[in-house]
Amino acid sequence: MPPSSKITLDDVARYPLPGMAIPNTFAFSADDALITYLHSAEGTLTQQLYACDPVSGTTRPLVIPPTGGETEETLSLEEKLRRERARSLAVGVTRYALSGQGFRVLVPLNGGIDVQDTVDPPLREIVRGDGAPALDPQFSPDGSAVAYVQEAELYVIPAEGGAPLPLTTGAREAGRTHGLAEYIAQEEMYRHHGFWWAPDGRRLAFTEVDETPIPVYRIVHQGQEHVSEGAQEDHRYPFAGQANAQVRLGVVPVTGGAPVWMDLGADDDIYLARVQWFPDGSLVAQIENRAQTELRLVRFDPQTGAGVPFLVEHNDVWINLHDMLTPLKDGRFVWASERSGFRHLYLYDGAGRLIRQLTDGPWMVDTLAGIDEARGWVYFTATKEHPTEQHLYAVSLDGGAVRKITHEPGMHTVTLDHACRRFIDVHSAPETPPTVTLRDLADGALRHTLYDTPDPRVAALDLPPPEIVAFPNHHGDTLYGALYLPPAEYGPGPHPLVVSVYGGPHVQYVSRSWTLTVDMRAQYLSSRGFVVFKVDNRGSARRGLAFEGALKHNMGDVEVQDQVDGVRWLVTQGLADPARVGIYGWSYGGYMAAMCLARAPATFKVAVAGAPVTHWDGYDTHYTERYMGTPQANPAGYRVSSVMAHVDKIAGKLLLVHGLIDENVHFRHTARLINALIHARKPYDLLLFPDERHTPRRLADRIYMEERIRDFLVANL
């Protein structure tokens, strides 16, 4: 081991990563007098809820859970699965909500619901967590009541406490749920709620989900020492081309009574993508067709269920869902569309007639951060500065020039106050760990530094930021990469190369953020003599729809070509030894690692494929069909996009890694690939984790995994 190497495998596997134990989940109280957030003062995964005075900048704990909060051991299966959908590893206080009027805070704890009425403790338990957990609790708009789901039914209870009132019945007996987002909505549509309060607090919109058309997929806990009822899980998993859940949208009075069902149209093979109430009391839903080429915005009368479409989006590539539909008090609304090839903001009147386009150009709007109707400003984050950065901008509702508000190079994630006077800015860059500041929305001027506490691990580990590079692929597109070079004692090169890959849509791997520097596996390997390289190939996010849509109906092709171009570029720089090239990735990255080994055997000699999708007919409907169509309509595309179709060309070394209770990318994917490898008489190595899902959670498991991956790469490169 070279003397300059300070990183251990414990550093690679332990979370939070160095510099990343930062405040998160920011909110302003209804009167903007407090800023609330989750944070671990000890720098661990155990978070608590804090409050900050935005005038003085002083901070203190806001709630004190009597038992410290949630742990992995106290979580129900339902909450564990919801955390998988959210990719959350945090414990303690993991979620909270503030009331929309006055001050009241809601905290879900250990399957129950606690409420605190002032800024001072104690918490009051209003729903016990014994038995069935209370899921997705939400305040009414004025904070006087809480709605939640328990045992598949929707309930409401006074925030002061008392007897809960059931608003729905009969779901469990019919194999349905009321008020819960189905798997596909949580995992792929980023819709995590299944009910929505009306602005006046008198009604709730909710979903009824019938998953019985979907066959049960059973996952067995093979690693358990004792066979019990909990040794298996039955999931309704909608495989590509097969049945989806049937979803209805109803409205029920908060006092109880029969629901009114909204008329979602004659086609029942659709996706209920988004639901929200408008200020005029109408209910608006975004309804997406199965092919994901059309999105209808429909306004419903909650009294009758009648619906009228007022905007329809079409796109021959696909529709990327977002959360930027924002109504104004005067009946107009702001909407984001990729109709130009890049996502931009548009202003419409209440009837859905376009008034004007607000932003334009070869760049992407990422989020709509807020709208100041009184002053006529729209605030948004975007890639206008550079595809690898994110900044806050403003544009007038009357149109005109875009005004940049944040200035430090890198990535800015923002939260605006209700008055649109101030914003919280979480900023990082490859050279700078995240900081949290309170700034003036007019010009970005600093008001307070809320968090800028150095993590001693950053200095101790001496993490050099990678170099962000740009190069052309063979198709003429500019690709961005991140280059981690070995210490000087390893010489100028060429060095053995390990490519770190994701490669799939909806993800950007290379951005000017601290997350790039704190990729601890890349840092560990480069400190031991490897060049590590990341490339955002065609198909990646934040580059426009044409760039992302290059893989339509043919996954695992252009992505592999671009990764090969990245290797060739490094070889021409004299940095990479073309005879010693490996690749690793997880999920879509695991798929890419296996596909690169199989489809580019002259380039890649070693691959570590973690939780890989090996055949797209084994993945879910909404994600897969967006990019590939259905297996019935695109059989040739599914065939050529499977790893199994190219196994005969594998010449290098392959390590497969998978968790046996992965309910997202089932172990079946790896098992099917193993069958193909056996049939083709191709050797492989296998690393299994009997008690892990898609995201490895146990520290000991992660350390062991990093040891095995390191040893595999060292032995074969």
Active site residues: 587, 662, 694
Chain position carrying tokens 């959670």: 697
CA distance 640 to 439: 51
Interior angle at CA 597, CA 595 and CA 598, nearest 5: 60
Q: Which two tokens stand for residue 370?
A: 């807020």
**Alpha-carbon span 683 to 696, nearest angstrom:** 25
Place of tokens 């998993």: 237
With a CB cutoff of 8 Å and minimum separation 6, the contacts of 84 are 663, 664, 693, 694, 695
Q: Cβ-count burial of 103 within 10 angstroms (0-12 exposed, 13-18 middle, 19+ buried)?
A: middle
Quick check: 692 and 703 in contact, CB under 8 A?
Answer: no
Rounded CA-CA distance 704/10 in Å is 10
648: nearest Cα among 603, 597, 613, 589: 597
CA distance 262 to 119: 40
Q: How many other β-carbons are positioned within 10 Å of the β-carbon of residue 577?
A: 16
Contact status, residue 451 vs residue 20, Cβ threshold 8 Å: no
E-strand spans in 163-245? Answer: 165-166, 176-178, 195-197, 203-210, 216-220, 232-236
3-class secondary structure, 514: helix
Residue 209: φ, ψ to 5°: -115, 125
Calculate the CA dihedral of residues 487, 493, 494, 496 and round it to 10 degrees.
-20
The structure tokens 């994600």 sit at: 623
Q: Element (H or E) spanning 579, and its range?
A: strand 576-586
| Cβ pair 457, 10 in contact under 8 A | no
Determine the Cα–Cα distance for residues 415 and 370; give it in Å rounded to an integer. Answer: 9
Give the sheet arrangement for strand 653-659, strand by strand. 467-472, 478-484, 531-535, 495-501, 576-586, 606-610, 653-659, 685-689
CB crowding 497-529: b at 16 or more within 10 Å, else e: bbbbbbbbbbebbbbbbbebbbbbbbbbbbbbb
Q: Rounded to an integer, what distance in angstroms lies between the CA atom of residue 79 and that of residue 149?
A: 12
Residue 366, token pair as written in the block: 């990422």
216 in Cβ contact with 235 (< 8 Å): yes
Rounded (5°) CA angle 666-670-673: 135
Which residue from 176, 111, 181, 104 is spatially nearest to 146, judged by alpha carbons? 104
Q: Which DSSP symbol is given to 488?
A: G
Q: Evaluate the omega torsion of the peptide bond into residue 122 and state whether it is cis, within 30 degrees of 0.
A: yes
Distances (CA, A) of 395 to 327, 453, 698: 16, 34, 46
- 3-state class (DSSP) for residue 283: strand
Residue length, the chain? 717
Residue 313 in tokens: 């989006």
Shortest CA distance to 191 belongs to which of 325, 70, 380, 97? 325
Q: 385: part of which helix (H) or strand (E)?
A: none
